[in-house]
Structure 1
């Protein structure tokens, strides 16, 4: 099983960050390449549509507003992995005026090398967190 993660620090409160990203269907609010998120199964499944019209289906596995974190698995996606589980967490930095956001995942490569799968998801996480920082700066 492979793992990767990315993190970014943003100069806003953890509450403000969580307000933007804490909803399981909030990706279109801060991630430009996801244009639509549609919830089903009582809010536990999201179907994401990207800017090219492709879809990804993800299932919410764990959620904690108190810990400002949620984990999800991929039910269907065009990615060369199986057993994907990802966590998005907002970490408060007391007294620093900075919040750290971490996006991490575990998965088993399928048809590609571990290095290729890790590079793919590290890129997705890094680009996504950069988009988050831009969205926070714009609001």
Structure 2
């Protein structure tokens, strides 16, 4: 099983970061390459449309508002992986600083672990930089 992760420090409170990033449907609010998020099954599934028109469907697997974390799996998408499970987590680094971690595990299909890990690491690093730019 392959893994990928990225993290970033943001100089605002963890609660403020979670307010923007913590909603399962909120990706278009802070992630520029996600143009649309449409809820399904009472908000447990999100159907995403990327800026270039690709479609991704993801299922919310766990959500902890107090712990500022949620995990999700990919149901359908353009990625050559299976058994994908990712977690987004916001932790406090003092009163006015937050650390955001985005990580996943998955089984690559048709590519090496290293190639797949590099793809997702790039997505996470770009996404977290975009999140930080909102503050």
TM-score if structure 2 supplies the norm length?
Answer: 0.98
Secondary structure of the structure 2 residue equivalent to 1:52: coil
1:113 corresponds in structure 2 to 112
Consecutive aligned runs of 4 or more in structure 1 exceeding 6 Å deviation: none
Cα shift readout 1:7-39 (whole Å, capped 9, x = no counterpart):
000000001000001110000000000010000
Give the gaps of 5 or more residues in structure 1: none
1:40 corresponds in structure 2 to 40
What CA distance in whole angstroms lies between the structure 2 residues aligned with 1:47 and 1:120?
21
Displacement after TM superposition at 1:135 (Å): 1.6
Give the gaps of 5 or more residues in structure 2: none
Cα shift readout 1:22-78 (whole Å, capped 9, x = no counterpart):
110000000000010000001000000001111100000000000000000000010
2:31 corresponds in structure 1 to 31
The question of 1:93 aligning with 2:93 is answered: yes
1:8 corresponds in structure 2 to 8
1:20 corresponds in structure 2 to 20
What CA distance in whole angstroms lies between the structure 2 residues aligned with 1:110 and 1:78?
12
What CA distance in whole angstroms lies between the structure 2 residues aligned with 1:121 and 1:94?
29
What CA distance in whole angstroms lies between the structure 1 residues aligned with 2:127 and 2:71?
16
How many residues of Structure 1 are paired with residues of Structure 2 in the alignment?
135
Q: CA RMSD in A?
A: 0.7
Displacement after TM superposition at 1:4 (Å): 1.3
